Every structure is written in structure tokens, then in C-alpha cells.
Amino acid sequence: MNVFSIPQPDGVLSDSDVKDLAEDVICQLPLPGIEGSPLDPGDIWAVVILAAVNQTSIWEMCKDNDNAVCDDTVMDWLHTLNREWLERVANRLLREVAMTILDPDRSRIVSIDFVDNPYHGTYADEEGELCRMHAKDGTTTCHRYCTAYLVSNGKPVTLAMTYVRSDEKEADA
């Protein structure tokens, strides 16, 4: 793993630093289950990274970017990934990145929050994958995630995340 470094712990990250860090982390993820896909994983990850950095959905990212692949193609490709395995690997990488950019001798408050990613359409894998939310962006269904994060220099640093199903109690997440 290339270790991302900044001049001092808790230093300021620019937009470009965040994008480069995201690319470094995501590109390290092996992707079992996508063999035989005609798409380059780099094309898919570029859409995912831009959607994340811009805090928007895959659909919005593809709609607003003529050079992006089709949002249905991205989602179909992402659905081939093993969600539990990807979550485990991503959390390990998030932990390593946090230890690289944060001063380990400083105490902090860790917050836990739910993030709803609005979803237009019906469930793709199984019925429990979509949660209900207040109307937002023309829909009341979403994919929900629970994140653990802390705030450093006024910016949230995600430490871990987990996918939340509609049949799961929030306290269990």
C-alpha cells in the first residue's frame, strides 16, 4: 500500500489530496467477481470517486458528465461485487488511512451517523436492501449506511462504515 502522507498530523487536505487519496485507496481493492467484464475497472471507479467527492449519486454523476459510462452499467457492475467482503476491506483501508493522517496521541470524539443515499427504482438484489426515508430528490427509498467518523480541522474523517438493511434495527448497525 502506498502510504499517503501530509506534512503534519491533522494537517489540511485539499480537494486534490482527497481525490488522490480516494484513488490510492480504491485502486488497491481487488475485485473478485468482475472477471470477464468488458469495462475497465478504472472507468467505474472514476465515476464512484467523483460521485463521492461531489457528495452526489452515481445517477447524478453520470447524468452531468458526458464522458462517464452509463449509470446502469456502473450499478450493474458494482452489484457483481461481494458487499460484505468489500465492506471489510474498505474498513481496514479506512483505518490505515486514518492512522496515517491523524495524530494517534490526541483524544477525540467519535460520532456515529446514518447516511441515506437516495435511490430511484426497485431493489436490485433482495427486498431488504432499500430503506424508507423522508422524501428527498423525488424518492422515499434509499440505501442506508452507518458511519463512524471524527471531525479534524472542521472536516469529517470516516473511520468505518457498514451497510444497513431495512429489516435491521438501527441499534444493531
**Full DSSP string of 16-62:** HHHHHHHHHHHTT---TT-TT-SS-HHHHHHHHHHHHHTT--HHHHH
Residues 62-67, mean pLDDT to the nearest whole number: 82
Query: What would the mean pLDDT of 5-10 be, rounded to a whole number?
Result: 50
CA distances from 111 to 108, 114, 136, 146 (A): 10, 10, 24, 10
> How much is the pLDDT for 2?
45
Residue whose C-alpha cell reads 447524478 in the numeric block? 60
- pTM equals 0.61
Contact 47, 68 (CB under 8 A): yes
Last residue of a domain, one of 81, 96, 119: 81
| Residue predicted with more confidence, 73 or 11 | 73
Which three-class secondary structure state does DSSP give residue 151? strand
In a domain, 37, yes or no: yes
Mean residue pLDDT across the chain? 77
Neighbours of 157 (CB within 10 A): 18
Q: What is the rounded CA–CA span in Å between residue 41 and residue 74?
A: 10
Range in 36-40, 101-105, 145-149 with the lowest mean pLDDT: 36-40
In a domain, 95, yes or no: no
Domain assignment of residue 20, given as a range: 14-81
63 part of a folded domain:
yes
**Number of domains, the chain:** 2
Q: Give me the pLDDT at residue 6, please.
A: 47
* pLDDT band with cut points at 50, 70 and 90 for residue 15: low
62 plus 121 within the same structural domain: no
Per-residue pLDDT reduced to its tens digit, 92-115: 878 877 877 787 788 888 899 998
Interstrand relation of 131-136 and 139-152 (parallel, antiparallel or unpaired): antiparallel
Q: Is residue 156 part of a domain?
A: yes
